Amino acid sequence: MASKNMDAVALLKADHRKVAGLFEKFESAKGAASKRKLVEEICTELCVHTAIEEEIFYPACKGEVEKDVLDEAYVEHDGAKALLAELIEGSPSDAFYDAKVHVLSEMIEHHVEEEEKRSEGLFAQAKAAGLPVDDLGIRMQARKDKLLADIDANGFPTLQTRSFSGHGMKQGQPVN
């Protein structure tokens, strides 16, 4: 549970820093058990973070920030969710496991940079629009606490995308 209330932007930035730290730890991790534990933490944090943004923060931003910025944020989340789903179902012995974690890290780093840009980023636009960030922070923390408890009790939820539709892709050999 949260020990203090943070405004929405401070809460999201704290999440960003925590996940960045977990990715750094993964880069130096040795052994399958250590890697798996870190990936579970990364997946937990990102599943919860994307949920509170998509359920509470992004809807509050609609009509208040540039539509393109918000649309890009949703698409970036959906791309990350594709890798999260792979990692949740995978294991460190799987082909491409470390590569998937590394690419996810790069995707999240880019997403964070976009959200945190000083003047034109999503957070700056939200604050400039006068969004009630204190109220949003309280609501987001409550939802975050519930989601963390749900994951602890029931495991990871089935991830849903907003911008990706069915594509019928199949895994196979690379095209020569």
The yes-or-no verdict on residue 109 having pLDDT over 90 is yes
Q: What is the mean pLDDT of the chain?
A: 93
d(CA 5, CA 11): 9
DSSP 120: T
Q: Which residues contact 2 (CB under 8 A, 6 or more apart)?
A: 141, 144, 145
The yes-or-no verdict on residue 174 having pLDDT over 80 is no
- Which residue range forms the structural domain that includes residue 16? 8-152
The yes-or-no verdict on residue 3 having pLDDT over 50 is no
pLDDT at 25: 98
pLDDT at 19: 98
d(CA 151, CA 157): 7
The yes-or-no verdict on residue 105 having pLDDT over 80 is yes
Kindly state the average pLDDT of the residues 38-55.
98
What is the pLDDT confidence band of residue 169, given thresholds at 50, 70 and 90? Answer: low
What is the pLDDT confidence band of residue 1, given thresholds at 50, 70 and 90? Answer: very low
Give Rg (Cα) of the chain.
17
Work out how many domains the chain is built from and give that number. 1
d(CA 134, CA 65): 18
How much is the pTM? 0.92
The answer to whether position 160 is within a domain reads no
The answer to whether position 170 is within a domain reads no
- Angle value at C-alpha 38, between 32 and 41, nearest 5 degrees: 140
The yes-or-no verdict on residue 8 having pLDDT over 70 is yes
The yes-or-no verdict on residue 2 having pLDDT over 50 is no
